[in-house]
Structure 1
Amino acid sequence: MGSVTTKKHANGLEYVDIDTALCKARIFLQGAQIDFFQPVGQQPLLWVSEADDYQAGNGIRGGIPVCWPWFGMSDTPDWPQHGFARTRLWSLESVVMNNDAVDLRFTLAISDEDRLYWPHDTKVEMLFNLSDTLKVTLKNTNHADYPVSLTQALHTYFPIADIQQLKARGFNDSQYIEFGQGPYTQPSDEVLFDRETDRVYTQLSPMQTLHTPNGVIEVGRENSHSAVLWNPWIEKSQRLSRFNADDYKTMVCLEAANVLEDKVTLAPGESHELITTIAWQK
């Protein structure tokens, strides 16, 4: 059946350790952030910078940080980039084991301090289904008596061994904005990397693949027509916190998102689930 136990990192952060016949994983209560997932007999599917020191108050530079309830910079000066959910403590509400698969549910209570940013009566949950595939769901429910809008992303870091050998595929017939310019039409199904890449895609099909020296990673999305493709390359890597200067060579981010015209607007009583599914291609 496996085990699900709560442990503490050397730097003090609490996490949930998952060890089953199908996978090993680790999810931190801070940010409800998974930083490790490895199907049995295969390579890990998530990347974390060795420069990250797992300090309270900092989102981990790797795994899947949660961008909520806004993606990118807020319209209000000095508000935190990518929202506040990734640096707050979430609560583990339930663990359900079904054969060798595990389901975990986390919720975030909005503090009085954070109601400055988010005064709406909504419920936000992170749901993890762990087997030989990783399925992550960011669920929003509107309990207010008026519509509520938000943007969000599951900011997934992937290990790709060599950025110059990476081929990202599944981008046909999409458009993207990059560095505030565009929209541009994607010229082909395939994206190669030889410079800083920071693209916000729209009208994107629900499945992409990352062709790496270690195999092909399948990245699926549900209830999302937008995604972010990011590699900081050389110059920006030198400015990033908790990130080594050469880390850009071994990672890429491909993020399930609801951004731009794909933002979420919830009617009273309505729920929405942003889902990403990640697996090694068989």
Structure 2
Amino acid sequence: MQLSPSVSISHTDSGLEYLNVDSPLCTARIFLQGAQLTQYTPAGKKPLIWVSKEEDFQVGKSIRGGIPICWPWFGVHQNPKWPTHGVARTALWRAQEVKESEQEIRISLSLPMLQVDETYWAHNTSLTVEYVLSAKQLEVRLTNTNLDDHDVQLTQALHTYFPTSDITQTEVDGLQGAQYIEFGKGPFEQQDIIRFGRETDMVYSGASALQRIRTPDGTIEVARENSKSCVLWNPWVDKSKRLSNFADDEYHTMLCLEAANVLDDLVTLAPNQSHTLGTIIRWS
């Protein structure tokens, strides 16, 4: 089914539906499950998003790569039996609107709250995500609105996976001066540009709004809006062997740098209030 001149609906062999973008501006793919973008390649440039070669795109199972939407909590919940990173990334979202112009393509999706078990989220809220795709950059906007009569709190993240041809020759600049917690220890202050030589799982607070990932293939700029926290992750050797849908050596070709609202940066919404978490990524 064609939704616009450059956007159509297709599906994987396993039955998952996705929006396929094939435009002079870029190519992209956004799954209805999780509203998860798994591909974005601006015209004439290399891909900006990484997905595991082991991913098999199964119904009800989170996709390893792309931009998983972690909501309404990030990481492991206080109740360890609840799903890690919340429920949004495996729920079936609804394609709401597609707008296409010569400069950009806007795709909006919403999460029907009937898809969310009240055990995990008993509040009356709405959740939408908008992808703005162009030849220059990808912009993602995740908007929560509190439709209830009491305050609502949540944590969330846009868990973006980025590609690199060599993690040992990759560095992240722009987190200097921020505080981080790693493996339950901290906070510590980030002193230097970050290079990779071990498992990395840093949750930052007080981070500046722009970071640069320098890879052998070029520099990726990652900007954030309404986010003072972010997460930097690479599983390295041992954890890679324990991850599902992840080849043992794939830690060498990826890293995550995630726009987030976590720790003291959690979102508190008063009745009728909205909050939009945004990230913008591009080749420098």
RMSD of aligned residue pairs (Cα, Å): 1.0
Deviation of the 1:100 alpha carbon: 3.4
- Are 2:164 and 1:154 aligned? no
Deviation of the 1:59 alpha carbon: 1.2
Conserved 8 A contact 1:162-1:249: yes
Q: Which amino acid aligns with 1:268?
A: P
Which residue number in structure 2 is paired with residue 213 of structure 1? 216
Q: Cα distance 1:191–1:112, how it changes in 2: closer, same or farther (>3 A)? A: closer
Deviation of the 1:115 alpha carbon: 1.3
Counterparts of 1:106-125 in structure 2 under 5 Å? 106-111=109-114, 114-125=117-128
Deviation of the 1:187 alpha carbon: 1.4
Q: How far does the alpha carbon of each residue in 1:142-192 deviate from its partner, in whole angstroms, 9 at most, with x for none?
A: 00011000000000000011000001100121010000000001112x100
Match of 1:168 among 165, 172, 192: 172
Which residue number in structure 2 is paired with residue 134 of structure 1? 138
CA distance in 2, matches of 1:77, 1:9: 32
- Are 2:280 and 1:277 aligned? yes
Deviation of the 1:43 alpha carbon: 0.3
Counterparts of 1:171-250 in structure 2 under 5 Å? 171-188=175-192, 190-250=193-253
Conserved 8 A contact 2:92-2:115: no
Task: Give identity over the alignment, percent.
Answer: 52
CA distance in 2, matches of 1:192, 1:262: 25
CA distance in 1, matches of 2:189, 2:225: 22
Q: Which amino acid aligns with 2:141?
A: T
Deviation of the 1:98 alpha carbon: 2.2
Which residue number in structure 2 is paired with residue 37 of structure 1? 40
Match of 2:106 among 103, 108, 123: 103
- Are 2:256 and 1:253 aligned? yes
Q: Cα distance 1:146–1:106, how it changes in 2: closer, same or farther (>3 A)? A: same
TM-score by length of 1: 0.98
Conserved 8 A contact 2:203-2:230: yes
CA distance in 2, matches of 1:112, 1:248: 33
Deviation of the 1:20 alpha carbon: 1.5
TM-score by length of 2: 0.97
Deviation of the 1:112 alpha carbon: 6.7
Which residue number in structure 1 is paired with residue 17 of structure 2? 14
CA distance in 2, matches of 1:129, 1:208: 20
Which SS does the other structure have where 1:86 is aligned? coil
Runs of 4+ in 1 over 3 A off after TM superposition: none
Which SS does the other structure have where 2:258 is aligned? strand
Match of 1:74 among 77, 90, 95: 77
Deviation of the 1:271 alpha carbon: 0.3
- Equivalent pairs, count: 280
Q: Which amino acid aligns with 2:123?
A: H
Structure 1 alignment gaps of length 5 or more: none
